[in-house]
Amino acid sequence: MRALAVYRALRKAILEQALSPGMKLPEDAIGDRLGVSRTLVREALGRLALEGLVELKPNRGASVAYPTLEEARDVFDVRRGLERLVAETLAGRLTNAQADALAAHVRQEEAAHGRDGHESIRLAGEFHIMLADMTGNAILARYVQEVSSRCSLILAIYGRPHSSECAVSEHRQLIEALQQGDGRRAADLMDHHLQAVVSRALISPRTDKDIRDLLGPYAIGEGLTSA
Amino acid sequence: MRALAVYRALRKAILEQALSPGMKLPEDAIGDRLGVSRTLVREALGRLALEGLVELKPNRGASVAYPTLEEARDVFDVRRGLERLVAETLAGRLTNAQADALAAHVRQEEAAHGRDGHESIRLAGEFHIMLADMTGNAILARYVQEVSSRCSLILAIYGRPHSSECAVSEHRQLIEALQQGDGRRAADLMDHHLQAVVSRALISPRTDKDIRDLLGPYAIGEGLTSA
DNA sequence: GATTGTAAATGTGCATACAAGATGAGTTGT
DNA sequence: ACAACTCATCTTGTATGCACATTTACAATC
């Protein structure tokens, strides 16, 4: 199963932005570098394409995905829906060991807070994946993992430089709500938390994407027709 | 892209139960029958494995997935979470054309009601996929499609013969709630609807799966030790 | 000078070939 | 008769090769 290794290598490279969005991914170049044949590279690329991390155009090869803002919003919406379910499922069912593990993780996040921005983002992402795993629902965990990956890619493109720090306090509140067993409150907290991540990190929600609207002010400024 | 064709062929065959759960899927045999090489069959099988329709064990080949009851429950839970989001997203945003299309579909369901059980199940599934498509959220639509497929497979294994009829009236109520723009009510309706499908169609929740418990009565019956 | 036609180069789509691991039948030893 | 071993066979894992599609560069024409 060396195909899996290739998959993981590419995936990691993309998420760490060693391969930046839009970059071409020729099968034989990758195969050369990784010491495997095109067959395995192809398999890995196909898999990454299904997860939305690479785009795969017929006869034109693969490239690192470059999601549009609309796709970005869609991914975050789905993520909110899924993690809401995580919160509901977990509410009141957290073992002590699990709660401790989460608390320990949050302490790590706090330690990395001002220190290392990159590390901070990684840890914040891991927190959500830990939660999903704790549900014991493998399908749910896989989906959360998948949308989380896509979110990382999206933040790499559209995220503001330093504002994508998943507020540590919000994680703490969430754990508390889960322990108290208040499913509704936990789900709402999760929802608002993720919504906050979007609004903190993502470019402001421009719903109009019509070029004419964008060019309007410039037309007026140059004394051209504004109608 | 003949690999896609192979994928669709296999997928359809599985969902129609031409290939029943647990059946082995040798690459060679499939390739022969479909007139393609193992390469393409392999690609298709890999993709189906990611979607949970086939199981893929290293060096031991592929077989049609045979989900456990736990997996079944997990899938239905995720489905409920996703379709809740569909309902929330769609509430108050249904165009007249969309509402008409849904109404027309429900009429089809009603026509097939007593007639053709197989057709009835297919139509019910399509209704949910139509809804997901209407959100305009491609990722959400893909996930819904995926869990729906898995649900079909699950019902094929664990479903009671004739009780998996997705009540037509529940679909009607849902459309109504969506048109009225009551997101909370629509989401709750969807939730209960899917819960109802599970309880109507799925075998009752046996939480104990220990062989010893199952064999207990037989041991007693044969005069063997029941301790 | 711009546009279209054409040919070389690049890279994908798919098939085939070979290597390695799993399966099962036949065989041998106890 | 049963267990363990061996070899033949089947199937998967991976590499390589060929054909075709796309792109690019260059030349010819208007």
Residue found under tokens 């470059």: A66
Over 70: is that where the pLDDT of A220 sits? no
Mean pLDDT of A66-73: 93
Chain D: nucleotides below 7 Å from protein CB are 11-17, 21-23
Over 90: is that where the pLDDT of A92 sits? yes
Judge whether B55 and B65 are in contact, CB under 8 Å: yes
- CATH number, domain A69-201: 1.20.120.530
Chain C: nucleotides below 7 Å from protein CB are 10-17, 21-23
pLDDT tens-place string over residues B29-61: 999 999 999 999 999 999 999 999 999 999 999
Contacts of A137 in chain B (CB under 8 A): 74, 77-78
Residue B57 CB in 7 A reach of strand C: no
Is the whole model's pTM more than 0.75, yes or no? yes
Test B77 with A85 for CB contact under 8 angstroms: yes
A105 interface with B at CB cutoff 8 Å: no
Write out residues 16-55 of A within 8 Å (CB-CB) of B: 39, 43, 46-47, 50, 52
> What's B2-64's CATH class?
mainly alpha
pLDDT tens-place string over residues B135-146: 999 999 999 999
B82 interface with A at CB cutoff 8 Å: yes
Contacts of A144 in chain B (CB under 8 A): none
DSSP B51: T
Residue found under tokens 């398999």: A43
Question: Domain extents for chain A?
Answer: 2-64, 69-201
pLDDT for B204 equals 57
CA of A38 to C1' of D15 (A): 8
Residue B2: CB atoms within 10 A of its CB come to 13
pLDDT for B1 equals 82
Mean pLDDT of B91-119: 91
pLDDT tens-place string over residues A99-136: 999 999 999 999 888 777 778 888 999 999 999 999 99
pLDDT for A161 equals 67
A149 interface with B at CB cutoff 8 Å: no
